[in-house]
Amino acid sequence: MDDQNLIRVQSEVRDLCVASKRPPHACRVLPVTKTIPADRLRQLQKQSPVPTAAIEFGENKIQELKSKYQELSDLNPTWHFIGHLQSNKARDCVAMAAMLHSVDRLKLGRVLDQELQAAGKSLPILIQVNTSGEASKFGVAPDKAFQLVKDLSQFETLKIKGLMTLAILSNQSPKVRGCFQLLRQLAKEIEDAAIDKVEMTELSMGMTSDYKIAIEEGATIVRIGQGIFGPRALPDSYYWDEGS
Ligand SMILES: *Cc1c(COP(=O)(O)O)cnc(C)c1O
């Protein structure tokens, strides 16, 4: 059952935090719900011991977020958007998401700021960094991250809370760990620069295949789909491709 899986993963994450000499609640689980139908999420939310509004879900396509947002509007879960965001979908994202994990370019920041101003809102965001250097991955290049954060910090509506990454897909754990270490180091450099209004409290990194390593390296949010809901039919490239 999904709720039992979620509870199991949450408790494992607490144990991993403690094993890494971190406080037990230093990292939280963001259930990634892409491909999972709204009915199943409704069931999960009903069975959860946490108050329903405290439940967070992560989606990576605006179209899919839109339909679940509407279907579950009575339960009003907290939605995180974790996928690649095209500028022309910024308005939808602003209307639905409580946090955006994937800001990776100034132009998107500018469009988000306009939409947020129009809506009279602000939005907590994370900057997505391409720590693996793979061309298939979105995210700002590591050596451009600092400048991007500085440039984005001019927008009053964007509340910069930290960084996000997808590690290299590899079964060689040193390579995966290197991606997470790089993200943590970048966050520290940015934090040390004390840029006005910029916080570096969140590191969104780690998914089903690599969240143990991510927690050891300081993740504060792990984004877990298959580890809670079971395997997906389609390869990850399908969900990460631009424009699809
Ligand atoms: C799908 C997805 C995840 C979760 O992947 P799992 O293998 O299901 O844990 C994490 N982050 C992003 C951006 C995703 O699209």
Tokens encoding 14: 């607490």
At residue 241, does pLDDT exceed 60? no
Ligand 1 and 34: CB distance under 6 A: yes
Ligand 1 and 239: CB distance under 6 A: yes
The DSSP output letter for 128 is E
What is the reported pLDDT for 244? 38
Q: Using the mean position of ligand 1's atoms as its centre, give its distance from the Cα of residue 31 in Å.
A: 9
Mutate to test the pocket of ligand 1, among 223, 239, 240 (most ligand atoms within 8 A of CB): 223
At residue 50, does pLDDT exceed 90? no
Q: Using the mean position of ligand 1's atoms as its centre, give its distance from the Cα of residue 207 in Å.
A: 6
Q: Measured between alpha carbons, how far is 4 from 169 in angstroms, rounded to an integer? A: 27
Q: Measured between alpha carbons, how far is 162 from 149 in angstroms, rounded to an integer? A: 9
Atom of ligand 1 nearest to the CA of 207: 9
What is the reported pLDDT for 239? 66
At residue 36, does pLDDT exceed 50? yes
Q: Using the mean position of ligand 1's atoms as its centre, give its distance from the Cα of residue 11 in Å.
A: 19
Distance of CA 150 to the CA centre of its chain: 20
Ligand 1 and 65: CB distance under 6 A: no
Q: Using the mean position of ligand 1's atoms as its centre, give its distance from the Cα of residue 208 in Å.
A: 7
Q: Measured between alpha carbons, how far is 29 from 118 in angstroms, rounded to an integer? A: 32
Atom of ligand 1 nearest to the CA of 236: 1
Order of strands, edge to edge, in the sheet holding 78-81?
A: 28-31, 221-224, 202-204, 158-164, 123-128, 99-103, 78-81, 56-59
Q: Measured between alpha carbons, how far is 146 from 166 in angstroms, rounded to an integer? A: 18
Please give the average per-residue pLDDT across 21-33, as a whole number: 97
* Position 24 confidence tier, pLDDT thresholds 50, 70, 90: very high
Q: Using the mean position of ligand 1's atoms as its centre, give its distance from the Cα of residue 243 in Å.
A: 17
pLDDT digits (tens, 9 = 90+) for 155-204: 999 999 999 999 998 888 999 999 999 999 999 999 999 999 999 999 99
At residue 52, does pLDDT exceed 90? no
The torsion region of residue 201 among left (phi > 0), alpha (psi -120 to 50) and beta comes to alpha
Atom of ligand 1 nearest to the CA of 239: 15
Q: Using the mean position of ligand 1's atoms as its centre, give its distance from the Cα of residue 117 in Å.
A: 30
The SS3 of residue 22 is: coil
Ligand 1 and 30: CB distance under 6 A: no
What is the reported pLDDT for 131? 97
Q: Using the mean position of ligand 1's atoms as its centre, give its distance from the Cα of residue 120 in Å.
A: 31
pLDDT digits (tens, 9 = 90+) for 197-239: 999 999 999 999 999 999 999 999 999 999 999 998 877 666 6
The SS3 of residue 98 is: coil
Going 155 to 158 to 159 to 160, the CA torsion angle's sign is: negative
Ligand 1 and 57: CB distance under 6 A: no
